[in-house]
Amino acid sequence: MNYKKALSNPIFEIISKAGKELNLDCYVIGGFVRDFLLERDFKKDIDIVAVGSGIELALKVSELLPNKPKVQVFKNYGTAMLRYKEIDIEFVGARKESYQLDSRNPIVENGTLKDDQDRRDFTINAMAFSLNSTNYGDLVDPFGGIEALENKTIQTPLDPDITYSDDPLRMMRAIRFATQLNFEIEAQSLKAITDNKERLKIISGERIVDELNKILETKKPSIGFLLLYKTGLLEIILPELTALNQVEEIEGHTHKNNFYHSLEVVDNICPNTDDVWLRWAALLHDIGKAPTKRFSKKQGWTFHGHEYLGGKMVKKIFQRLHMPLNQKMKFVQKMVIMSSRPIVLAQDIVTDSAVRRLVFDAGEDVDNLMTLCEADITTKNPHKFKKYHKNFDIVRQKIIEVEERDHVRQFQPPISGEEIMTLFNLKPSREIGMLKEAVKEAILEGEIANEYEAAFDFVMKKAEKMGLKRV
């Protein structure tokens, strides 16, 4: 079949011309072809394979372009890259690969187009459009990629056992594509992932997290996480999460399955945020429940302090997977630690002081926290579901009112420690901290307004009780 219409971008004609001048066959391959056939948005990158030197082809293309864009050459990998009108174009020579057991970095030799397609991860990524003048736009599809697209199947060009053992990252990619495209992983391929799961241990945390993030960025991440669980990969990557998949019964008392609940919360939050770190918080919000689970005859099952322990576990997970330990980690920690606060509010009478404390503690992240907590409502009881959502609406409205009136989101004490020192001729001491804390508590409790005069009068009265005299 011919797909000339897919090659309407002028860059393809230029690459074709460069190939002809160098007497090199060249093809556009991989994601561009797949996404065109799926009618998906094109990514901002295009892969070109040349039967010969990809670097030579890239340099020739740059020469033919009016602005002569800079070519980045990666000699070790035999690849080159240039940018054309916001599109990154990568050039590689057709190659065949062989692998050693302890590494996903292959030994590379020059090869044919067929060799290059053999080494691709999935049949849907092994299709190519010809850029050669004799058959410009023809589809080269040796493994039935078109059929796989029609059947919505993820399968490997060669034996899946070899494909996944050679490069175990492909196991993560298979699950990611299945989640992104809503495809099924072919049965033999799924079994091969399970059989080769231990091979994932040679892959760096950064690579794994990159795939996890892409799964979390999909419309329904639970698809990917259930596949990761089913194949045993999740136990290797996030044992803290799989530990939640344990429901116990004692004396007729059970508790909900916090593993499936966590996946439901992630799915719930996706329509309301694109922030991958808030989605991480949704995934991890209950991880402290497995180690804090206790049973008492009086209360049944309890998970006391799971939020605080969960916050500590977040840091360990981020460290282990080489995730950023900056504000992103602190944000996820904060969301996990505070994840139950609004829920308590939504179940009870919502007081101004409780809302003020919530806004004070959450600060700029209060809206994100509310989004997380609304996603956390997974009750199947329609009456409770409606009631909690209604109460959350009340909490949200109160947040707006309290914030407009009391400005506690970015709290700055209306009276400073320096002024207190001057008023009472004090050196740095415990008394200053006590007065500042008393002002903050009075504002949060609604005893005084968050303004200078009210705070000043309050400090004077409090200081008098403490035996401090104004100078």
pLDDT tens readout for residues 205-232: 999 999 999 999 999 999 999 999 999 9
Sorting pLDDT into bands at 50, 70 and 90, what band is 48? very high
Residues 441-470 have a mean pLDDT of: 92
Q: What is the per-residue pLDDT across 82-120, written as a single tens digit (0 to 9) for each?
A: 999 889 999 999 987 666 666 666 666 678 898 889 889
Which structural domains are found in the chain, ordered by start? 4-147 (3.30.460.10), 152-237 (1.10.110.30), 417-465 (no CATH)
Mean pLDDT, to the nearest integer, of 178-201?
97
Give per-residue burial for 412-437: e unless 16+ CB within 10 Å, then b.
ebbbeeebbeebbebeeeebbeebbe
Percent of the chain, pLDDT > 90? 68
The per-residue pLDDT for 471 is 80
Is the predicted pLDDT of residue 451 greater than 80, yes or no? yes
CA angle (210, 82, 137) in 5-degree steps: 90
**Closest among 401, 397, 468, 406 to 440, alpha carbons compared:** 406
pLDDT at 305 over 70: yes
- CB-based contacts of 369, cutoff 8 Å, min separation 6: 335, 338, 339, 341, 342, 358, 362
**Residue 23 pLDDT grade (very low, low, confident, very high; cuts 50, 70, 90):** very high
Place of tokens 């190939």: 19
Instruction: State pLDDT tens for residues 150-187.
Output: 999 999 999 999 999 989 999 999 999 999 999 999 99
Whole-number mean pLDDT of the chain? 91
Place of tokens 């190659």: 95
> Once rounded to an integer, what is the mean pLDDT over residues 451-467?
92
Residue 164, both tokens: 């996944």
Between CA 52 and CA 362 the distance in angstroms is 58
- Kindly report, residue by residue over 360-404, the tens digit of the pLDDT: 999 999 999 999 999 999 888 998 888 888 888 888 988 898 888
pLDDT tens digits, 10-21: 999 999 999 999
Of 158-167, 257-266, 319-328, 399-408, the one with minimum mean pLDDT is 399-408
CA 27-33-37 angle, to 5 degrees, is 145
Amino acid at site 274: D
Q: What is the pLDDT of residues 426-439, one digit of tens each?
A: 888 899 999 999 99
- The average pLDDT across 325-349 equals 87
- Count the residues in the chain: 471
Count CB atoms within 10 A of the CB of residue 366.
22
Ramachandran angles phi, psi of 181, nearest 5°: -95, -10
Taking the C-alpha atoms of residue 53 and residue 58, their distance in angstroms, rounded to an integer, is 9
Q: Write 201-208 long-range contacts (CB < 8 A, 24+).
A: 201/236, 202/102, 202/103, 202/104, 202/168, 203/104, 203/168, 203/169, 203/172, 204/322, 205/320, 205/321, 205/322, 205/323, 206/322, 207/169, 207/172, 208/169, 208/172, 208/237, 208/321
Q: What is the pLDDT of residue 295?
A: 74
Q: Would the pLDDT of 256 be above 90? A: no
